[in-house]
Structures are given as C-alpha cells and as structure tokens.
C-alpha cells in the first residue's frame, strides 16, 4: 500500500507542467514520450492519458483482441523518491473488430532482463488499461511476456522484446 501511495504521488507530481500549460489535447502531437503529463487530464478515448506517454513498445492481435503496450521511463522521478523502479509498462486491450475497450480482466507480466533476472507482476487496472512499474536499469534487450484473461474467460499471451538504450 505504501508503494501505491508513493506511485500516486509521483504520478500527481507529473501533472504540474501540464496544468501550467493549460493545453487542450487536440492541439498536442500524439507522441508525448518526453513530456510529463497528468494521468487523468486527457480522455482515453482520444488516445490521451498515460497511454499517450512513453514509447509504443508493441501491438499485436491474438484471438480477436488487440493489445497495445507502452513503456514509460520513470527512472528520474522514482529515484527522487528513493525507489528502484525505472519503467512503467501499460497495456490497453481492444476488440480487434469493433475497436471497443476491453478493460475487465487479469494481466500478469514477466520481464526478463539482459542479466537473466526475472520480475513477475500482476498489472493493476488503470485508465481503461493495465499497468505496473518494473526495474530495467541496464541497457539492452528485455523480454516482456504477458498472459491475460479478459471478461470472455479466454487466456491469451503476447511476447516481445523491448530495448533500453
């Protein structure tokens, strides 16, 4: 619970620059990878919020479900708070045919680093998607393996490589 409180504080501290700018999201470029933003200031149905932050890491359709993964570098903010996590991994699921959000279910992600160390976490529901923080301190390739069971009860999995530069 303490980590969650610290994470929420970190997220809220990212909102100040956006509030000061008072921009509407229609005028902003879609790649916000380097611009800190408030999670709730932009509507998810228009591609905003946290899913507009970070880097698009992977998209894949499995059994009619499109998964869109983004990775956000949070190293500097977490270091300020004395925490070791360096990256936030988020995924949003949509119906491949209708494009409708699929936001109910369970998601587990395993990240294997270049040093062969593994981290396994359950992703929390947030902003219509799922996310959690991971420690990816070394440069190199990280294997990301996700297993998810959404409302339809079917278990699916996705694997991809993410490179930390």
Question: pLDDT tens, 41-55?
Answer: 333 333 456 666 788
* Dihedral angle computed from the Cα positions of residues 117, 121, 76 and 38, in that order, rounded to the nearest 10 degrees: 160
Domain boundaries, the chain: 50-164
Q: Count CA atoms closer than 13 A to 84's CA, side-chain side.
A: 4
C-alpha dist (Å) from residue 117 to 110, 111, 142: 10, 8, 10
The dotted CATH code for 50-164 is: 2.60.40.3340
Question: pLDDT tens, 127-149?
Answer: 899 999 999 999 999 999 999 99
Q: What is the pTM of this model?
A: 0.70
Instruction: Please state, in angstroms and rounded to a whole number, the distance separating the CA atoms of residues 154 and 60.
Output: 16
Residues 86 and 78 sit within 8 Å (Cβ to Cβ):
yes
Instruction: Please state, in angstroms and rounded to a whole number, the distance separating the CA atoms of residues 49 and 38.
Output: 7
């Amino acid at each position: 619970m303490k980590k969650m409180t610290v994470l929420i504080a970190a997220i809220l501290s990212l909102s100040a620059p956006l509030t000061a700018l008072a921009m509407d999201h229609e005028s902003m470029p879609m790649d916000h990878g380097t611009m800190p933003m408030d999670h709730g200031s932009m509507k998810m149905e228009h591609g905003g919020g946290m899913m507009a932050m970070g880097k698009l890491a992977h998209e894949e359709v499995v059994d009619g479900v499109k998964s869109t993964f983004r990775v956000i570098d949070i190293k500097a903010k977490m270091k300020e708070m004395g925490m070791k996590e360096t990256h936030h991994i988020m995924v949003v699921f949509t119906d491949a045919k209708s494009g409708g959000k699929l936001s109910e279910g369970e998601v587990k992600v395993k990240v294997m680093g270049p040093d062969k160390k593994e981290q396994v976490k359950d992703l929390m529901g947030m902003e219509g998607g799922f996310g959690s923080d991971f420690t990816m301190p070394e440069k190199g390739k990280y294997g990301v393996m996700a297993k998810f069971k959404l409302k339809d009860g079917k278990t699916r999995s996705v694997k991809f490589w993410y490179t930390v530069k």
